[in-house]
Structure 1
Amino acid sequence: MTATADAEAAVNELTPLAEYLGSVLRRLHALPPLDLDLTQAYGNVLAEDVVATHSVPAFDQAAVDGYAACWEDIAAGGRGVGYLPAQAGSPGGRVVQLNVVGDLGAASWRPVRLTPGACFSVAAGAPLPIGADVVVPVEWTDQGMASVEIHRVPKRGYSVRKTGEEILAGTLLARAGTYVSPALVAVLAATGIGHVVVRPSPRVVVVATGDELVEVGRGSQPGQVVDVNSHALTAAAAEAGALAYRVGICDDDPEGLRGLLEDQTLRADLIITTGGTGTGPGDMVRRILSRREGNRTGPVVFTEVALYPGTALGFGTVGPEEVPVVCLPGDPGAALVGFEVLARPVINMLAGAEPVFRPGVRGHLLETISSPAGLREFRPAHVAERRGGGYTVQPLRGGPLALSGLAEANGLLVLGERVTTAAAGSTVDVLLLDRRR
């Protein structure tokens, strides 16, 4: 058998990425729900539908500072209204004059009623007096205190916020699976909701393995590699909405690795390891986690996936609590791509978040690129909207293993297993990275 035939046979033995992800995600369930105070709910995902308990606004109120009046009193032919001599710019050549019988602020609570030819000075948010159906903005008047001259007549209902105009009691505010954003917190608070039932943010522990690893703050030397992954993956987990904890470096020591993982199962909903997923003599993570020893660890299944970069991925559970564990490759580029492909969907499943995967678009490729046969490649790219609609996709330098390209990317270009060459001008799929700029 030729070398080419050997390579093709090896590729054919790889598990398709979609099949692998489906097998992993089917094993997961969202974390048990918690009833949280509204101030603590931000960043979590609702576990139940939420319905408004009160209307917004809760009462008829002024939308601006001005004068609350009856529209008929200030319109032509109104009741008991005083008119001043005609002035330039006034409607119908007349200036309407009303008596100001009181002031109402946002804290006013006693009900008051309008009488013909009268109005109340009101602040924005103040309850409207009975009989008022319009608020004249202060800039349309002479801002009088005992009486006011109205230089411009608004339409009926102007600057009035009616009870339930925005939200009626009983309205569905958000469905289960909705992310609790600051704006949603505001809506919930406005409708009288102080507690919500949410899925807690998963607690994710990140461990980097390898005798060669050294802490950041110095350059790599022969036989040493700076620990990039535990820092990068902890940041990625936090960006995905998890409560992320960096444990740091674990040497390739079987007992040390077992003990560390057992300790972390007490505080983790998910453990992410990086390094040691291959089949070489130094790949301790695979050798330790893929075999069961009593109830202490395992089993974690390591699978050769049709993915580039980083074909070797591991998933399973550890400890008596059966805490999920995701094992990613040691190369930083492959680890970050592996996080996007596998770890992020796992975090979203535990959090009860929908959708599980990043949003995607299709765009026009700006340059011709090649891709490994039989592997689904994820390559850093810059996505831009085109004038007139659609997107352009610019692959970034260095390919999927280059950290500089990943740092600049706002998308991951996806090339399918059957694609070996993507020509400039062709349409390609891109996952959008919603990183803040």
Structure 2
Amino acid sequence: MTATAEFESASASELTPLADYLGSVLRRLRALPALDLDLTQAHGNVLAENVLAPHPYPAFDSAGIDGYAARAEDLLPPGPGRPVRLNVIGDLSASSWRPVRLTPQSCFSVAAGAPMPIGADVVVPVDWTDQGMAAVEIQRLPKRGFGVRRAGEEIGAGDLLARSGAVVTPALVAVLAASGIGHVVVRPTPRVVIVATGDELVEAGRVSQPGQVVDVNSHALTAAAAEAGAHAYRVGICDDDPEGLRGLLEDQTLRADLIITTGGTGTGPGDMVRRILSRRDGGRAGSVTFTEVSLYPSSILGFGTYGSAEEVPIICLPGDPGSALIGFEVLARPAIQLLAGAEPVFRPSVRAHLLETVTSPTGLREFRPALVAERRGGGYTVQPLAGGTRTLAGLAEANGLLVLGERVTTAPAGSTVDVLLLDRRR
């Protein structure tokens, strides 16, 4: 065994397994308290309770098409070769509200959505007639019930419209509105604040110089939080100043459901975040625990609470952009989903056929950018991207994350591996 392998083996034995760490963190979080919202405002939120239909849909018998509302018994031909003719005794539109009744050998001209006359049980399409106004000749004979939408045929009163945990989509908004629902009880959208720390950081829009690093993380993580469904707020750069960091975080607890910091999680002399947040300050409740996790990259992650008036969950991610983005995917994104009441909290995954042999660090669960494609006949293939997470271009190109477990040191081409699917929809 080489010296490097001995070091990796010894280090890995001291790491907290990723699954254990995630379980311990997510168990400490609770979905945000529910609130009642107008349907339009509720779009994109997660239902906090089951929703039952208070009324049927359609609410009344109505015409499903433009045509003539008639009685099926009046559509029997009077004799061989003789057409059916009915008297048109009125017109009905979708705004008609007075009840009307059919008499034998008569019909109403109706528009789609109009209430059906009493006694009518069929709508003859306009194209099946001579489109007469005082009387109409029917050239094709529909069956009873044709062109009619019966009350409650789609949704009955008391039917379950959506379960707790479902996301309010545009289509669900339509169903709820059609059933007579104007408000729903949902989990609010989590408010997530992102802070980048480090004396070396400078704002984006310029090129890094010696001693300077462009702030990549606060921009990228704000976008990631928004993609995860949060109201994301980029605070920007905070220098490695203890009092400045404390004051900034304290201010953010007033508007945040979750705070994410990036940088300063290591044990070096400049890692201010870890030194400040891992101990309790007088008058401030909560603290952050920094844990070496069996995760590659992003092995050191911080989680805890911060705030004197109200303790707000805080997640501390590494300063390396690739590590920060992977740490967000593994820890912060599930936390946001949990706060929002969404189920499941993790991204979907598939088993895929590996197209290229890859190696992975001993004892670490690696998340590597990759391209996933569906195979003809079913299944998936996955192509690892060059450079891994250290190459931001690879992360930007990836539509999946190849997952290599702690016990995997080599995954040969042709083997089957797990892949997290990244959502790249606009």
TM-score by length of 2: 0.97
| Structure 2 SS opposite 1:142 | coil
In structure 1, the residue matched to 2:341 is: 352
Aligned 8 A contact 1:289 1:297 in 2: no
| Structure 1 SS opposite 2:60 | coil
The CA deviation string for residues 124-182 of structure 1, in whole angstroms up to 9 with x for no partner, is 11111111111111122222211122221122211211100000011111111111111
In structure 2, the residue matched to 1:380 is: 369
Question: Which amino acid letter does the alignment assign opposite residue 103 of structure 1?
Answer: D
In structure 2, the residue matched to 1:314 is: 302
CA RMSD, Structure 1 to Structure 2 (Å): 1.5
| Structure 2 SS opposite 1:232 | helix
- 1:158-173 matched pairs, under 5 angstroms: 158-173=146-161
Runs of 5+ in structure 1 lacking a partner?
Answer: 78-82, 84-91
- 1:23-422 matched pairs, under 5 angstroms: 23-76=24-77, 93-296=81-284, 298-320=286-308, 321-422=310-411
Aligned 8 A contact 1:295 1:319 in 2: no
| Structure 1 SS opposite 2:335 | helix
1:15 corresponds to 2:46: no
Q: Find the aligned partners of 1:98 and 1:423 in 2 and give their Cα distance.
A: 77
Summarize the Cα distance change of 1:93–1:308 in structure 2 as closer, same or farther, 3 Å threshold. Answer: farther
Q: State the shift of 1:306 in Å.
A: 0.5
Q: State the shift of 1:72 in Å.
A: 2.0
Q: State the shift of 1:362 in Å.
A: 0.8
| Structure 1 SS opposite 2:9 | helix
| Structure 2 SS opposite 1:347 | helix
| Structure 2 SS opposite 1:196 | strand
| Structure 2 SS opposite 1:121 | strand
Question: Equivalent pairs: percent with the same residue?
Answer: 79
Aligned 8 A contact 1:59 1:127 in 2: yes
Aligned 8 A contact 1:98 1:148 in 2: yes
Q: State the shift of 1:276 in Å.
A: 0.7
| Structure 2 SS opposite 1:164 | coil
Q: Find the aligned partners of 2:283 and 2:127 in 1 and give their Cα distance.
A: 76
Question: Which amino acid letter does the alignment assign opposite residue 111 of structure 2?
Answer: A
Q: Find the aligned partners of 1:415 and 1:4 in 2 and give their Cα distance.
A: 18
Q: Find the aligned partners of 1:136 and 1:372 in 2 and give their Cα distance.
A: 72
Q: State the shift of 1:75 in Å.
A: 3.5
Question: Which amino acid letter does the alignment assign opposite residue 365 of structure 1?
Answer: L
Q: Find the aligned partners of 1:246 and 1:327 in 2 and give their Cα distance.
A: 15
| Structure 2 SS opposite 1:68 | strand
Aligned 8 A contact 1:262 1:296 in 2: no
Q: Find the aligned partners of 1:395 and 1:119 in 2 and give their Cα distance.
A: 68
Aligned 8 A contact 2:370 2:401 in 1: yes
Q: State the shift of 1:2 in Å.
A: 4.2
Q: State the shift of 1:296 in Å.
A: 2.3
Aligned 8 A contact 1:98 1:118 in 2: yes
Q: State the shift of 1:297 in Å.
A: 5.7
Aligned 8 A contact 2:77 2:83 in 1: no
Question: Which amino acid letter does the alignment assign opposite residue 206 of structure 1?
Answer: I
Aligned 8 A contact 1:62 1:126 in 2: yes
Q: Find the aligned partners of 1:220 and 1:185 in 2 and give their Cα distance.
A: 47
Question: Which amino acid letter does the alignment assign opposite residue 353 of structure 1?
Answer: A
| Structure 2 SS opposite 1:248 | strand
Q: Find the aligned partners of 2:5 and 2:397 in 1 and give their Cα distance.
A: 35
Question: Which amino acid letter does the alignment assign opposite residue 414 of structure 1?
Answer: V
Aligned 8 A contact 2:8 2:362 in 1: no
Q: Find the aligned partners of 1:397 and 1:37 in 2 and give their Cα distance.
A: 48
List structure 1 runs of 4+ shifted beyond 6 angstroms: none
Runs of 5+ in structure 2 lacking a partner?
Answer: none
Q: Find the aligned partners of 2:147 and 2:376 in 1 and give their Cα distance.
A: 39
Summarize the Cα distance change of 1:27–1:370 in structure 2 as closer, same or farther, 3 Å threshold. Answer: same
Q: Find the aligned partners of 1:398 and 1:7 in 2 and give their Cα distance.
A: 21
TM-score by length of 1: 0.94
Q: State the shift of 1:44 in Å.
A: 1.1
